[in-house]
Amino acid sequence: MALSLQDQLLKAGLADKKKAKKIKQEKHKQVKAKQKHKAVIEDEAKIAASEALEAKKSKDRLLAKKQKEERLQKEIAAQVIDLIKVNAQSRKKGDLVLNFTVDNLVKRMYVDQKMHKLVTQGRLSVVSYEPDVYELVPTPVADKIKQRMPESVIYQATEIEQDKNESDDDDWYADYEIPDDLVW
């Protein structure tokens, strides 16, 4: 006849008789209480195991969420790089300097007169997908890039409402006629 696990542990010297007797008594008490009161006696090991399982599940959920966010950021970065590379305007070495600021530093880009005019009109924007590499893309594309990754759009020429209001205030005298016979 095969020995029980308890007997095997006692025989191998891995457990002592007092602990074995105590465990046997506790188990007997649990069986009696279950039969007498028909109450469910919770096992501490089962509770600890279920808590550990829940902790592992929550940790796995957080890890999966973090990995998903990282993957999404990589996808967005790839989209931005693709938009810039596909829509970058080829610029020849021009003689006009286009100045723009990056982190309180003035950067320069040499463009021809046509490109410079398009940038100042707000039709082209300066974007970057890696440090010290700047490209010109059409403003609608720059707007799409700005939605995905705002830090990639370096310079966009837009008319500010405050400047527009100030220019309207400067023209307050435009409604008055200037007499023809005015002598200075």
Report d(CA 171, CA 164) in Å as an integer.
Answer: 11
Report d(CA 118, CA 101) in Å as an integer.
Answer: 18
Give the model's pLDDT for residue 156: 87
Report d(CA 43, CA 46) in Å as an integer.
Answer: 5
Q: Is there a contact between 106 and 154 (Cβ–Cβ < 8 Å)?
A: no
Cβ density class 77-93: b for 16+ within 10 Å, e for less:
eeebeebbeebbeebee
Give the model's pLDDT for residue 65: 96
Domain boundaries, the chain: 83-167
- DSSP secondary structure string for all residues of 137-177: EEHHHHHHHHHH-GGGEEEE----HHHHHHHHHHTGGGGSP
List the beta bridge partners of residue 101. Answer: 106
Predicted TM-score (pTM) of this structure? 0.56
Q: What is the DSSP letter of 133?
A: E
Q: How far, CA to CA in Å, does 100 sit from each of 96, 118, 119, 134?
A: 13, 15, 11, 11
Angle at 120 between CA 153 and CA 175, to 5 degrees: 125
pLDDT tens-digit profile, the chain (184 residues): 577 877 887 788 888 888 888 888 988 888 888 777 765 556 778 888 899 999 999 999 999 999 999 999 999 999 999 999 999 888 777 788 888 888 888 988 889 888 888 888 889 999 998 888 899 999 999 999 999 999 999 888 875 444 555 555 566 667 777 777 766 6
- DSSP secondary structure string for all residues of 10-66: HHHTSS-HHHHHHHHHHHHHHHHHHHHH-PPPPPHHHHHHHHHHHHHHHHHHHHHHH
